[in-house]
Amino acid sequence: MIDTLLIIEDEQLLGSELQRHYIKSGYEVIWVQSYSEAQSKLQSNKTDPSLILSDLNLPDGNGLDLLEENHDTLSSCEWIFLTGYGDIPDSVRALRLGAFDFLTKPYPQEKLDLVVRSALRSANAQRRLQTSSKDASLRYNFDSFIGSSTVASQTQQMLRQLSQAPFSALILSGETGTGKGLATRILHYNSTRAKESLVELNCAALPKDLLESELFGYEAGAFTGAAKRHRGLLEQAQGGTLFLDEIAEMPLDLQAKLLKVIEDRTIRRLGSETEITIDIQLIAATNKNLQEEVSQGQFRSDLYHRLSVFELHLPSLHERLDDLHDLVPDIIAEFNIKSGKNITQIPPQIWHKLENYNWPGNVRELRNVLERSVLLSSSDSLSEQWLQLQEVPSGDTTSSTGSSSSVICLPVDGTMGLDEMTGVIVRTMLNKYDNNVSEVARVLKTTREKIRYRIDKYNLR
């Protein structure tokens, strides 16, 4: 795509020379000679310049006033001012208004060309970011949280309200696989911060020391192996959103440092003596009961209360089984496109199995099941053969022979995570010992408090 330059210059000789030079350099160039003519061009839908080269003093106005008047509508356009008698206040005002540079005539053409190329790179980068944000906003709209059940509609409405609220922190809770990452993207890309970065970090994926350096960044030489300065994720999220998944896994001493960041809005890189002011929106996600974690001393109460400005609980799939009729066709259509298949038929027996399964892995498990079924189906009908839904998640216990209750079978194909497996084990043991918590704790070699915690966590009462 050819970049468009708008030249605003009332000197006939200089204006025509600049136009000739940049047309020869491969740009589309529009040249105007007055404030009113430039304003007319900028307000028309036909002109969308990537760069404006403007004289400061025009016959009928001032170039700085023109920039100030059009600053909001030309957010991805860079401005370079050219003037024969500019002074320091003018240059300061120009830079405060967002001008790329302020050059005093006469200037070498090579220098102007260098500044023009830099300004165009900046403008194009901003346009790519805006395009990416628009695409993401279309992809992650409020209807992306699919479902027409009452609980799904309530969640959609809460996401809509929260996206318009300038909150500093928010907690997303819910079982694994309920869509906390999706909810975060919906909140970010439909907020006023959509044009800025969304930075994500799984707190359970990194050891403590690495987690701290990734969050806060470090200076060169801060520790062995720190060869150069590294901007932390808190700094990278400047102006945008930081998503901390599995926040309950963050070590307590690091929780204290995060609390200070949220309260003071400043960070200090490891090994640095200076603080950096940040403006971010923080979204923390967890599949644990943070209030229980606080009571057990596993999570700081002050950080919990600071994070829970808003708390949104995402419903599990077994709480909204009616939404399967919205989710299943949508997910199949997605995998049809990816795999080049054309699955259009879902037999009644498959619907029966889908609707009578407990879905411990929630929507993530549903996606995995349907992806496998679509990829391996050999006709336009979804194959029952590849569903491979386990009976264990509904609370039943089976042995390898199918007749003994002394063995619990758990799937190892990735459809069930550690938390889901733990829930199945505790549920099975409670059934076996008639809800005798003390006996279950004795058999599992743990404490009654931990069994009660898991009863509440997995809603086993």
Query: How confident is the model over 206-216, as a mean pLDDT?
Result: 89
Residue 171, both tokens? 């907690």
DSSP 315: P
Query: How confident is the model over 203-231, as a mean pLDDT?
Result: 87
pTM, whole model, 2 decimals?
0.62
Residue 123 has a pLDDT of: 84
For CA atoms 92, 95, 97, 101, the dihedral sign is positive
DSSP 49: -
Tell me the CA distances in angstroms from 5 to 29, 30, 42, 155, one per residue in order: 5, 6, 12, 47
Of 209, 200, 216, residue with least CA distance to 257: 216
Residue 397 has a pLDDT of: 38
Spell out the alpha helix ranges (H) of 290-361: 290-295, 301-307, 324-339, 348-355
Report the alpha-carbon distance of residue 49 to residue 30 in Å, rounded: 9
By CB atoms closer than 10 A (0-12, 13-18, 19+), residue 227 is: exposed
Ordered strands of the 51-55 beta sheet: 28-32, 4-8, 51-55, 78-83, 101-104
How does pLDDT run across 395-431, given as a tens digit for each residue? 443 333 333 456 777 776 566 777 778 888 888 888 8
Q: Is 359 left (phi over 0), alpha (psi -120 to 50) or beta?
A: left
Query: How confident is the model over 290-298, as a mean pLDDT?
Result: 92
For CA atoms 349, 351, 353, 355, the dihedral sign is negative
Using the CB atoms, write b or e for 198-221: b if 16+ within 10 Å: bbbbebeebeeeebbbbbbbbbee
Report the alpha-carbon distance of residue 317 to residue 178 in Å, rounded: 7
Residue 203, both tokens? 């707190």
Query: How confident is the model over 165-182, as a mean pLDDT?
Result: 93
How many residues are present in the chain?
A: 461
Report the alpha-carbon distance of residue 120 to residue 352 in Å, rounded: 58
**Does the pLDDT of residue 393 top 60, yes or no?**
no
How does pLDDT run across 300-340, given as a tens digit for each residue? 999 999 999 899 999 999 899 999 999 999 999 989 988 88
Interior angle at CA 19, CA 16 and CA 22, nearest 5: 145
Question: How many Cα atoms within 13 Å fall on the side-chain side of residue 396?
Answer: 11
pLDDT tier at 134 (50, 70, 90 boundaries)?
low
Least confident window among 118-132, 157-171, 243-257: 118-132
**Which residue carries 């049809």 as its tokens?**
336
Residue 276, both tokens? 């950096």
Contact 250, 258 (CB under 8 A): yes
Domains of the chain: 4-135 (3.40.50.2300), 150-313 (3.40.50.300), 317-389 (1.10.8.60), 392-461 (no CATH)
Residue 31 has a pLDDT of: 93
